[in-house]
Structure 1
Amino acid sequence: MINAYLLIDFGSTYTKLTVVDVDSEEIIATSKDITTIEDDIMIGFNKAYEKIMDKLKNKEVNFIKKLACSSAAGGLKMIAIGLVPELTAEAAKRAALGAGARILKTYSYELTNRELEEIKNSNIDIILLAGGTDGGNKDCILHNAKMIVENKLTMPIIVAGNKVSNDYIEPLFKENNINFSITENVMPKLNELNVEPAREEIRQVFMKNIVDAKGLNNAESFVNGILMPTPAAVLKAAKVLSRGSDKEEGIGEIVIVDIGGATTDIHSLANGEPSKPGVTFRGLEEPFAKRTVEGDLGMRYSALSLWEAAGTRKLRKYLKDKDKDVEAICKKRSEDIMMVPQTDEEIEFDEAMAKVATDIAMERHCGFVEPVYSPLGVIYAQHGKDLLDVKWIIGTGGVLVHSKNPNGILKAGCFTVENLNSLKPQHPNFMIDKTYILSAMGLLSEENPDMAVRIMKKYLVEV
């Protein structure tokens, strides 16, 4: 009898299953099938489950736990509201991104009627309401809470602002039957982040409220729990791989590049403090575990916006034939989202898109330095994370997994002398998530982090 975990990712395109043998700490089977969110999510799951049971037909398997994550039906969509764009609004945005959400928009200052109409029509799952440091401005968050009540918003609200305002917001929301919860301030002091409590609250609300809304309740009877959004599972896996667990050593600072059909996600697990002498940090504190999502950089859904973000010349730089109609090819991919490259030319174009997506997404994720002129001469100010000395870049996503030269794609996101102010990784090593295990290992790390670290060390492939 094999005791095993069944780890399930209800993805936006595919439902992926991974079976882990508890005793040998090996992945003994994987399968996938199209996610069927429009009809019943269990149809696609059952097809994938049949495939995996067929692979295990000569083995007697006992599933001790069945754990799932999900980004089906567009994933977890959120709006973040704060006071100042660069401070509490940005802190709220980072908390939501770290919880695995897609941020549709960030609002700051007092909400207007037009903005409330926009929020009402935006088809979001959760609002994260922040604003003010503890003991600081409370007028703005109270105004926004009243606007939420007046406009009868029905989606869950997570309050993570100035703690002084909670005594006013709690009775106001209760009286008006607002679906809400209160957690710690995302920015209790100026420039000081406190995102973990809000991230955990988002996860709890996701499990309690959003699972039903996404039609995932049909899966609830089969699994032990849909624990978190898929991007949160990936970030959790990255965190335990980087820092290690109770018994297992981590591998140090890492960056994960996840190139998908709609977005390119970057996760960095690094302190990000200045690595060079004479550089001072400016702006909002950076979290150790940071995730950014670039909704305009995707291989299919967002192919046209990738071309718009990059421009023709940037894409042609990676092509042998410099006369290709880049816009037309990107447009074709955006219209045929299930397109799989067959010819060498199609593969080359896909890889050019992946290199551009990696380059721009890393540029936006990493910090930069700029000269500041002072009475003592020129000093250098750092904005964002310094990732120059990151040891590993790990690639995941179809284009990287199937590429014959994945390190060529990942190198596009590294430091170059053409952009001396950027703080992208300088001399990293590269690994590929060949078996799509990162989200599964995030789930496993909830139960057994030591095992999750050991399996990732075994299955992530150095290139």
Structure 2
Amino acid sequence: MKGYLLIDFGSTYTKLTAVDIENEEILGTAKAITTVEDDIMIGFNNAYAELQSKLKDKKVDFVKKLACSSAAGGLKMVAIGLVPELTAEAAKRAALGAGARVMHVYSYDLSSKEMEEIKNSNPDMILLAGGTDGGNKECIIGNAKLLAKSGMDIPIVVAGNKVAEDEVSQILEDAGMFYKVAENVMPKLNTLNVEPAREEIRKIFMEKIVEAKGMKNAEKYINGILMPTPAAVLKAAKTLSLGSDKEEGIGDLVVVDIGGATTDIHSLADGEPTKPAVTLRGLQEPFAKRTVEGDLGMRYSAVSLWEAASTKRVLKYLDDKSIDIEAGCKYRSENIRMIPDNERDIKFDEAMAKVATEMAMERHVGVLTSVYTPCGVVYSQIGKDLLNTKYLIGTGGVLVHSENPEEILKAGIFTTEDPMHLKPKNPEYLVDRSYILSAMGLLSEEYPDIAVRIMKKYLVNTKKICCITK
């Protein structure tokens, strides 16, 4: 039997998915602690041994072994643009969509303090943007000169004003810096063009960053680490939403990915206003949008979740109001591999997950604002309208292991108490119980039709989970 082995070298766990391409079935999944500090192949081999035990007598010939990775901190990037709400924001969105963790976003001319901050943050890559095509070119040229003088040995993607492209390239070339040029992330005012920059980021990740993360041992065994894990999840979501050449997609959807360090939201929708007489304001939204909330995590950033949410907001989701929220969050941040093994800890984790979902969705979706005019109240929309989103899909440990994941996901839907945040109103709830989304993002690079059909088959409706656990 010929199969594909799809690997996710995660920040905490290395996850393997074996797929029978011919019969379009998942043969088995397995995971083990990621061991990037020593040799990443130790964790892989542990997971592989578990997978082989699950496959038992099945003789599988893995003709392809494809991987994504967020090990060793994932892909850390700095984004630089001109105007904060325009090219700087466009650069940030391009980096996020490429699967990066954006550490800092800078606008206008970089100061010496900001240059020092960039050096100290030790990013893996820099996205240098600035100016619409034919617009301001002095800023991106000046920032290129500062980067050239910095002495940093960091890959740079240049995606700004095309009029400045030749001069910026020459500056970086003379400084001996590794760089690639992509199309402008904002060629015209309020018009996004992020895909070319995302593609260049992915290529550099494969060519340079994987080696820098000490993952060459893995590359000897597999056919390639194609992209960062978050990019693979977004790729899977986009493929599932739009479909492929031969397979219909399922339409607009949102993926809620709750992890130990961050909560990521991926939305696949145009986000145009659904309410009458609402005007759009602000930067154009990409169809495939990812946001990352670094202060909303279940372990590494548990304390920052409590600080961002407040004790009252967490207690709202707990029946036992006597629980010490601060102490519970601090314990989790100090014991990042804690697995809840009693009802009290399970309920606490699920309350944290509900808060993370609620707040991350608030930050991701569009917002209505009202302006009073002589003709009455006028409403404008900034961001995506996701009210009519068909599906809300959950992934991440707390959702996968929950007996009632729908209740966690419901924390992220529209409420009449908060009518201005344009969250999904009445979606269908699905859960990635087998951790297959990142794997399907990898598979869709070669077999998008099969990837869509497998996701339709293996993403579980939460109603079925509730029936099984009752």
Q: Sort the TM-score into its range (normalised by shorter chain).
A: over 0.9
- 1:371 and 2:359 equivalent? no
Counterpart mapping for 1:106-125 below 5 A: 106-125=105-124
1-side partners of 2:338 and 2:220: how far apart?
34
Residues paired across the two proteins, number: 462
Instruction: State the partner residue of 1:199.
Output: 198
2-side partners of 1:375 and 1:51: how far apart?
69
Question: Is there any run of 5+ residues in structure 1 with no aligned partner, and where?
Answer: none
**Deviation at 1:48?**
1.0
Instruction: State the partner residue of 1:254.
Output: 253
Letter in structure 1 aligned against 2:210: V
- 1:393 and 2:374 equivalent? no
Residues 40-99 of structure 1: per-residue CA shift (max 9 Å, x gap): 101111111122122234122111111000000010000000001000000000000000
- 1:304 and 2:292 equivalent? no
**Deviation at 1:375?**
4.6
- 1:126 and 2:125 equivalent? yes
TM-score (norm 1): 0.99
**Deviation at 1:142?**
0.6
1:148 counterpart SS class: helix
Instruction: State the partner residue of 2:95.
Output: 96
2-side partners of 1:336 and 1:192: how far apart?
44
1-side partners of 2:52 and 2:407: how far apart?
37
Instruction: State the partner residue of 2:151.
Output: 152
- 1:31 and 2:44 equivalent? no
**Deviation at 1:10?**
0.3
Letter in structure 2 aligned against 1:444: L
2-side partners of 1:329 and 1:171: how far apart?
54
2-side partners of 1:183 and 1:376: how far apart?
46
Instruction: State the partner residue of 2:329.
Output: 330
2-side partners of 1:305 and 1:192: how far apart?
34
Instruction: State the partner residue of 1:8.
Output: 7
Compare 398-407 and 53-62 and name the one that shifted more: 53-62
Query: What is the aligned-residue identity percentage?
Result: 69
Runs of 4+ in 1 over 6 A off after TM superposition: none
1-side partners of 2:372 and 2:149: how far apart?
49
Letter in structure 2 aligned against 1:441: M
Counterpart mapping for 1:444-455 below 5 A: 444-455=443-454
2-side partners of 1:425 and 1:153: how far apart?
44
1-side partners of 2:49 and 2:144: how far apart?
48
1:5 counterpart SS class: strand
Instruction: State the partner residue of 1:172.
Output: 171
Compare 322-331 and 240-249 and name the one that shifted more: 322-331
Residues 331-368 of structure 1: per-residue CA shift (max 9 Å, x gap): 11111101111111111100000000000000000011
Residues 389-443 of structure 1: per-residue CA shift (max 9 Å, x gap): 0000000011011111100000000000111111000011100000000000000
1-side partners of 2:432 and 2:404: how far apart?
14
2-side partners of 1:173 and 1:376: how far apart?
55
- 1:211 and 2:207 equivalent? no
Residues 225-281 of structure 1: per-residue CA shift (max 9 Å, x gap): 100000000000000100000000000100000000000000000000000110000
* Contact in 1 for aligned 2:172/2:179 (Cα 8 Å): yes
Letter in structure 2 aligned against 1:146: K
Instruction: State the partner residue of 2:349.
Output: 350
Letter in structure 2 aligned against 1:452: A
1:203 counterpart SS class: helix
**Deviation at 1:173?**
1.1
Compare 321-330 and 424-433 and name the one that shifted more: 321-330
Residues 99-149 of structure 1: per-residue CA shift (max 9 Å, x gap): 000000100000011110111111210000000000000011011001001
Instruction: State the partner residue of 2:465.
Output: none
1:273 counterpart SS class: coil
**Deviation at 1:320?**
1.1
* Contact in 1 for aligned 2:149/2:175 (Cα 8 Å): no
**Deviation at 1:374?**
3.5
Letter in structure 1 aligned against 2:108: Y
Instruction: State the partner residue of 1:276.
Output: 275
- 1:71 and 2:70 equivalent? yes
Question: Is there any run of 5+ residues in structure 2 with no aligned partner, and where?
Answer: 463-470
Letter in structure 1 aligned against 2:73: G
2-side partners of 1:317 and 1:46: how far apart?
43
1:370 counterpart SS class: strand
Instruction: State the partner residue of 1:137.
Output: 136
1-side partners of 2:332 and 2:80: how far apart?
34
TM-score (norm 2): 0.97
Compare 167-176 and 423-432 and name the one that shifted more: 167-176
1:419 counterpart SS class: coil
Instruction: State the partner residue of 1:293.
Output: 292
Instruction: State the partner residue of 2:314.
Output: 315
Residues 189-208 of structure 1: per-residue CA shift (max 9 Å, x gap): 00000000000000000000
**Deviation at 1:323?**
2.2
Letter in structure 2 aligned against 1:58: D
2-side partners of 1:415 and 1:189: how far apart?
33
Letter in structure 2 aligned against 1:403: S
